[in-house]
Chains A and B, each alone.
Chain A
Amino acid sequence: MSVLRRTRVLHATDTLEVGGAERVAVDIVNSLDRRHHEPFFCATRGDGPLRDVLLPDVEVSILGRRATWDAAGMLRFARFVDARDIDVIHTHGRGTLQFVALCRRLGLISTAHVYHDHYGHLHLDRRASTGLRSALHTVDDYLGVDGRLCTWAREDVGLPASRVHLVRSGVDLTRFDGVEPIDLRAAFDLHGVEMVLVMVANYRRQKDHPTVFRALAELDPAVRARLAVVTVGSTESEPGFFDRCWAMAQDLGVTEQIRVAGGRDDTLRLMAGADAGLLASKNETGPLVVLEYMASGIPFIATDTGEITRAVAGLPIGATPPPRDAHQLAAALHELLDAGPAERAAMGARGRQVAADLFDQRQVTRQIEQIYHQILTKTPATPRPDHASLTPAGRFDR
């Protein structure tokens, strides 16, 4: 007689610092179906504030490895995996991928391995080093948060299509329930401004604040005066970038329309108080902030980059102009302004519903659980005939 036990899933990241990949990992772990899964978490390098976000039932290990070839770290990791009898290791980030792949290659572990790729710089570097390529070929399944990553994995790295899955990022909608909005007009001296947009993005090249400023400059002054943008995010992420952006805004004569809130820990409240959200990134794989705009119930203008904007393009919940295109961004700003407060509110409400329908974290996690199940039922090296069974896996590659 076999004894049913839950599938033991270990999520591994470099650290628990606040970052896109780490946030996704924590959200997946927290939303794994506890009836069938027992979650573990390993930060292979160091701890971080996201540890406090993990649910109390998640056992956390901080490995403290110093490099991919950290022999002591590998042994500690292998002991942890062995002692907890882990069924699936789910890695996030290329450093941790290569670390775990090396453990497998050296025979320290034989556990099924899923790699979750969040790499956001494919537009700058498509190279796959020998080490990365080799590591990718050891994983059982590859999950890409963006269709372009999946294409890269298939065409450039040569992974079989059957092992490549598109898994969009999700959002935990409950985080947005009961958030008390901040009155942005009062907080940032924007009395009388018709539409206040919030742009949650650190001042970094990737986030492309200059295109926002160029778009503002393209608007007729009378139109421009009716709106304002509150930028939320660190001004010190990339030395000198903010200063050059601000000099550009001054040259373009649009500083009246911009407020710089800096890094804040009340971002959700700022979103809730805005009339719309804005994101002008050159490149993103998510981007999660668009989901947060939708979950906050505000319409958005977000450049057409990343899987999330791709999935919602054309829906009456926001606009997705091409990245780097100041003309089309200006047109989108004008259109949203002219839509009026009632229509903007309606768009925001529809966006919240779309977030619930398409991006609810629980749905995304169910997809991932199916992939675990599929691997475990097809991998002879890790037979688990006594696992609690889920429904057969679907295929998410495209």
Chain B
Amino acid sequence: MVAVTVDTEREAARTPSPIASVSVALCTYQGAPWLPDFLGSLQAQRRLPDELVVQDDGSTDDTLAILESFARTAPFAVRVEVNERRLGSTSNFERALERTTGDFVALADQDDIWYPEKLERLVGVLLEDPILTLTFSDADLLDPSGRPLGRRLWGQRGIRHVLVTRQIVPGARFAQRALTTGCTMVGRRRAIEAALPFPDSLNDPVAPMRHDRWLSLVAAAVGTVRSMPEPLLGFRVHPDQQTGVLTTTELAKRLLAAAVAATRNPPPEARAAHLARARQIDAAAERADRFGDFDEADDLRGVAAHHRTRADLGRTVPARVRTVWRELRLHRYDPSVLGTAAAAADLVRALRPTPAALPS
């Protein structure tokens, strides 16, 4: 399935720490324009990784040549594998994570620029507290040429308040909403092992769940996930990226579209999307159960049940209103503007005189 193109092993010029090893899992695809900046920032880390594991999804530009050149001089091992067929971002990261060997694993995107203290800071937090399974930071947003936009990732996504005040993020919050971005994360080996292999349900065509949300969901279910409010990298925003952020305008457009959709009969894929999300969250609950995290598993099953409920609100207006009210009372909607919008949309649908159950 894969062809190995580069595999270098060398003694790290600056061996960072004898007590813990760090892998960086990098997924690439047509990354030539951005890759030199990223690799340069990786090489400038105050705490160097012990290995860079690259999974290329069949690039046809200069990506592999850049990686080969980097591997020749890198002060750490560089292992590149090329997929024979395109896997897509989530499966590509799954494959990369399977190949990592470090005690800690940092995820990387090809188009970002890491600040020199990124690995040192995030790994340091995990080293200080063994109960933490994963930690992630904020990021500064950059334009395509790498110039700062003067905004932060969390602020742009409307999640800064919750992540700054809580810091410890329970699994149910990740089940309700994607709060993490892969390139900001470092996970402990046991969190990676708990998350692998990825369940097939992540690749549901109607409602896929990205690798970073799955990882943080499982890491929180079987341990503790901590957010670090400081920005530790530059996150490039450009049209080609697969893991972009919504601009304020795009977010407003989506909310408007959701509001309009609420007044109409829901499309068939809306029901399928809720059921797919429920299956994904159930898969995380199963991992938590396997590790003996029974309460966390129950919390996740509660969120999965919420999605199943939203897939079928009821046959009559009173039944549907009761259902929405119960879900509100149980705080099962995401406590953010998006969750409020979802609850409002469900209420509008519930009040419509025509049968509003999502079509099966």
Chains A and B bind each other: yes
Q: Which residues of A contact B (CB under 8 A)?
A: 123-127, 147-148, 151, 205, 208-211, 213-214, 240-241, 244-245, 248, 282-283, 303-305, 322-325
Instruction: Tell me, in angstroms, the Cα distance from A210 to B128 when the chains sit together.
Output: 24
In addition to A151-B128, A305-B130, A323-B131, 7 A-B residue pairs with Cβ atoms within 8 Å of each other are: A126-B166, A148-B128, A205-B293, A208-B292, A210-B292, A303-B130, A324-B133
Instruction: Tell me, in angstroms, the Cα distance from A213 to B130 when the chains sit together.
Output: 20
CB distance from B240 to the nearest CB of A (A): 37
Q: Decide if A322 touches B130 in the complex (CB within 8 Å).
A: yes
With A123-B224, A126-B226 known as contacts, the answer to whether A245 contacts B292 (CB < 8 A) is yes
**CB nearest neighbor in A for B170:** A124
**CB nearest neighbor in B for A309:** B130
Interface size on B, residues (CB 8 A): 20
Q: Decide if A324 touches B190 in the complex (CB within 8 Å).
A: yes
CB distance from B130 to the nearest CB of A (A): 5
Identify whether the interface residues of A are mostly helix, strand, loop, or mixed. Answer: loop
> What is the 8 Å Cβ interface bit string for chain B, positions 264-307, against chain A (1 contact, 0 not)?
00000000000000000000000000011111000000000000
Give the chain A neighbours of B131 by CB distance below 8 A: 123, 282-283, 305, 323-324
**CB nearest neighbor in B for A321:** B130
Residue in A126, A214, A303 whose beta carbon sits within 8 Å of that of B292 in the complex: A214
Instruction: Tell me, in angstroms, the Cα distance from A127 to B229 when the chains sit together.
Output: 13
**CB nearest neighbor in B for A214:** B292
Chain B 200-226 residues near chain A, CB threshold 8 A: 222-224, 226
Interface presence of B132 (CB below 8 A): yes
Chain B 162-194 residues near chain A, CB threshold 8 A: 165-168, 190
Q: Decide if B292 touches A211 in the complex (CB within 8 Å).
A: yes
Give the chain A neighbours of B130 by CB distance below 8 A: 303-305, 322-323
CB distance from A304 to the nearest CB of B (A): 5
Sample 29 A-B pairs with CB under 8 A, ordered by A number: A123-B129, A123-B132, A123-B168, A125-B168, A126-B168, A127-B166, A127-B167, A205-B293, A205-B294, A205-B295, A210-B292, A210-B293, A213-B292, A214-B291, A240-B294, A241-B294, A244-B294, A245-B292, A282-B131, A283-B131, A305-B130, A305-B131, A322-B130, A322-B190, A323-B130, A323-B131, A324-B133, A324-B190, A324-B291
Q: Decide if B224 touches A209 in the complex (CB within 8 Å).
A: no
The 8 lowest CB-CB distance pairs between A and B, nearest first, are A210-B292, A126-B167, A123-B131, A123-B224, A283-B131, A322-B130, A244-B294, A304-B130
Instruction: Tell me, in angstroms, the Cα distance from A244 to B288 when the chains sit together.
Output: 13
Give the chain A neighbours of B222 by CB distance below 8 A: 324
Instruction: Tell me, in angstroms, the Cα distance from A211 to B194 when the chains sit together.
Output: 13
Residue in B128, B292, B295 whose beta carbon sits within 8 Å of that of A209 in the complex: B292
Give the chain A neighbours of B133 by CB distance below 8 A: 324
Give the chain B neighbours of A322 by CB distance below 8 A: 130, 190
Q: Decide if A248 touches B292 in the complex (CB within 8 Å).
A: yes
CB distance from A244 to the nearest CB of B (A): 5
Give the chain A neighbours of B226 by CB distance below 8 A: 126
Give the chain B neighbours of A205 by CB distance below 8 A: 293-295
CB distance from B247 to the nearest CB of A (A): 30
Give the chain A neighbours of B190 by CB distance below 8 A: 322, 324-325
Give the chain B neighbours of A148 by CB distance below 8 A: 128-129
CB distance from B187 to the nearest CB of A (A): 13
CB distance from B116 to the nearest CB of A (A): 20
CB distance from A232 to the nearest CB of B (A): 19
**CB nearest neighbor in A for B296:** A205
**CB nearest neighbor in B for A126:** B167
CB distance from B192 to the nearest CB of A (A): 13
**CB nearest neighbor in A for B222:** A324
Instruction: Tell me, in angstroms, the Cα distance from A163 to B222 when the chains sit together.
Output: 35
CB distance from A194 to the nearest CB of B (A): 26
Instruction: Tell me, in angstroms, the Cα distance from A124 to B226 when the chains sit together.
Output: 9
Which of B129, B132, B166, B226 is packed against the most chain A CB atoms within 10 Å?
Answer: B129
Give the chain A neighbours of B165 by CB distance below 8 A: 127
Instruction: Tell me, in angstroms, the Cα distance from A240 to B130 when the chains sit together.
Output: 27
Give the chain A neighbours of B128 by CB distance below 8 A: 147-148, 151
Instruction: Tell me, in angstroms, the Cα distance from A282 to B130 when the chains sit together.
Output: 9
Give the chain A neighbours of B292 by CB distance below 8 A: 208-211, 213-214, 244-245, 248
**CB nearest neighbor in A for B165:** A127
Residue in A124, A147, A211, A325 whose beta carbon sits within 8 Å of that of B224 in the complex: A124
**CB nearest neighbor in A for B227:** A126
Q: Decide if B291 touches A210 in the complex (CB within 8 Å).
A: yes
**CB nearest neighbor in B for A244:** B294
Which of A209, A210, A283, A324 is packed against the most chain B CB atoms within 10 Å?
Answer: A324
Give the chain A neighbours of B291 by CB distance below 8 A: 210-211, 214, 324
CB distance from B170 to the nearest CB of A (A): 8
Give the chain B neighbours of A124 by CB distance below 8 A: 168, 224
Instruction: Tell me, in angstroms, the Cα distance from A227 to B258 when the chains sit together.
Output: 60
Instruction: Tell me, in angstroms, the Cα distance from A283 to B132 when the chains sit together.
Output: 10
Which of A123, A148, A304 is packed against the most chain B CB atoms within 10 Å?
Answer: A123
